[in-house]
Homo-oligomer: A and B are copies of this chain.
Amino acid sequence: PRKFKAKVVEIVVKTKKIGQDDPRRVAHSAKVGLALTLVSFLYYFRPLYDGFGQAGMWAILTVVVVFEYTVGGTLSKCINRGFATLLAGALGIAAEYLATLCGENGEPVLLGILVFILATTSTFMRFFPNIKRRYDYGVLIFILTFSLVAVSGYRVNQIIQLAHQRLSTILIGAATCIVISICICPVWAGQDLHNLAATNIEKLASFLEGFGDEFFSFLGDEGSVVASKDDKFFLQGYKSVLNAKATEESLANFAWWEPAHGCFKFHHPWKQYLKTGVLARECACHIEALTSYINSRPQVPSEFYRNIHQPCVKMSLESSKALKDLAGAIKNLTHPCEAETHVKNSKAAANEFKSILENSSLLAIQDDVQEIVPALVVASILINIINCIEKISDSIHELSE
């Protein structure tokens, strides 16, 4: 009983956390419940029931299968389902008609062959990346409807009557889903993709903001060292950027279906977010390489470290500022105005670092070479990051045009 109680408490805590992480999830669940209840009443009350017959259950089936978390997902499934049902229904009727011409014995053979050919080619089509991305569900419904119609064994005029009923119930189910998903707390995939792109870049920025001070913390500033223990999680944020690919791609696919909403028009250049995402992940990769060096600086600060301290911290801070400006530009759909200045500043800091290297002739470096290696690597990776940020900046400029 104790174990059981602990388990219950754990589940309650988890449930609360999932709800609080994104309250729209609670709203989504209630929306599905509402849509289903509405459609059930349609099915339950006799006057309507008699009109639609058994086909009423297709409305329930449609709601359950089609209602997705985002508006784009719901729309894509509704549209796919509608068109696939129409097309497959027409083809199925044609097949049925053809089969009746073959006589009593030829009919099942011809229908069997047709079902086999259509199912095989359609299933193979699902392997095409373009079709898989956008019309996967449609192809599935196409196979299903064609088989059901072709094999139903009804005469053509019966089928047309049945199809009429079934289509109208599917339409009612789909319309209920679309209206509820758009009108009550809509979750736009496009908006989510947009926010995801901005927060990912912000995460990179907050890493770089803290990194410089963290790496050179042994040069003094006791205060900053003590403080940094609490908020070291900024050093972890970039990791979720590395894993964002799948989420970004599915959001972009759904966003493609969405009508104009908020400040996005229909067919906003969602693909551009994917390009930005690729660059952000490249940048996160460089950051991952940086993290190996956080704890590898020498114990005793040397002359060399003091010399390069300034430009390195500046590189890191300025690139952080550039990224923050870019994230802000994404968020507000404006041109990034200060990012270029910050990139320039960080490049100037990089040049400063290079000239320190040149001037502090090697004779002057008193240390062991081993000791200066981490600093050189860190600076060099920071320069790579700056180049990467420049590319991100270009990509976001394209987006804001």
> With A128-B18, A292-B384 in contact, is A57–B148 under 8 Å at CB?
yes
Closest Cβ neighbor of A32 among chain B residues: B123
Which one of B65, B365, B376 lies within 8 Å of A373 (CB-CB)? B376
Check: A151 CB closer than 8 A to any chain B CB. Answer: yes
Which 3 A-B pairs rank lowest in CB-CB distance, beginning with the nearest? A33-B120, A289-B289, A29-B124
- Which residues in B have their C-beta under 8 angstroms from that of A242? 281, 285
Closest Cβ neighbor of A363 among chain B residues: B363
Closest Cβ neighbor of A40 among chain B residues: B151
Closest Cβ neighbor of A141 among chain B residues: B64
Interface size class for chain A?
35 or more
Contact assessment for A116 and B60 in the assembled complex, using a CB-CB cutoff below 8 Å: no
- For chain A, residues 1 to 32, give those with C-beta under 8 angstroms from any C-beta of chain B: 14-15, 18-19, 25-26, 28-30, 32
- Which residues in B have their C-beta under 8 angstroms from that of A354? 370
The A interface is mostly helix, strand or loop, or mixed, namely helix
- For chain A, residues 247 to 303, give those with C-beta under 8 angstroms from any C-beta of chain B: 281-282, 285-286, 288-289, 292
Which one of B33, B65, B376 lies within 8 Å of A144 (CB-CB)? B65
Q: How would residues 116 to 133 of chain A score, 1 for a CB under 8 Å from any chain B CB and 0 otherwise?
A: 110111011001100000
The complex places the Cα of A45 from the Cα of B108 at a distance, in Å, of 8
Contact assessment for A127 and B18 in the assembled complex, using a CB-CB cutoff below 8 Å: yes
The complex places the Cα of A86 from the Cα of B216 at a distance, in Å, of 63
Check: A51 CB closer than 8 A to any chain B CB. Answer: no
> With A44-B111, A357-B369 in contact, is A116–B37 under 8 Å at CB?
yes
Which one of B32, B117, B119, B144 lies within 8 Å of A120 (CB-CB)? B32
Contact assessment for A25 and B140 in the assembled complex, using a CB-CB cutoff below 8 Å: no
Contact assessment for A40 and B115 in the assembled complex, using a CB-CB cutoff below 8 Å: yes
> With A14-B128, A25-B127 in contact, is A60–B112 under 8 Å at CB?
no
- Which residues in B have their C-beta under 8 angstroms from that of A32? 119-120, 123, 143
Contact assessment for B281 and A147 in the assembled complex, using a CB-CB cutoff below 8 Å: no
CB distance from A381 to the nearest CB of B (A): 7
Check: A215 CB closer than 8 A to any chain B CB. Answer: no
Check: A164 CB closer than 8 A to any chain B CB. Answer: no
Check: A362 CB closer than 8 A to any chain B CB. Answer: yes
> With A30-B120, A119-B33, A120-B30 in contact, is A144–B362 under 8 Å at CB?
no
Q: List 24 A-B contacts (CB under 8 A).
A: A15-B128, A29-B120, A29-B121, A29-B123, A29-B124, A32-B119, A32-B120, A36-B119, A40-B115, A41-B112, A43-B153, A54-B54, A57-B148, A57-B152, A64-B140, A64-B143, A64-B147, A289-B289, A289-B381, A362-B362, A362-B363, A362-B365, A377-B380, A377-B381
CB distance from A117 to the nearest CB of B (A): 7
The complex places the Cα of A19 from the Cα of B124 at a distance, in Å, of 9
Check: A231 CB closer than 8 A to any chain B CB. Answer: no
Contact assessment for A144 and B358 in the assembled complex, using a CB-CB cutoff below 8 Å: no
The complex places the Cα of A41 from the Cα of B110 at a distance, in Å, of 12
> With A60-B147, A245-B246, A362-B363 in contact, is A108–B289 under 8 Å at CB?
no
- Which residues in B have their C-beta under 8 angstroms from that of A376? 373, 376-377
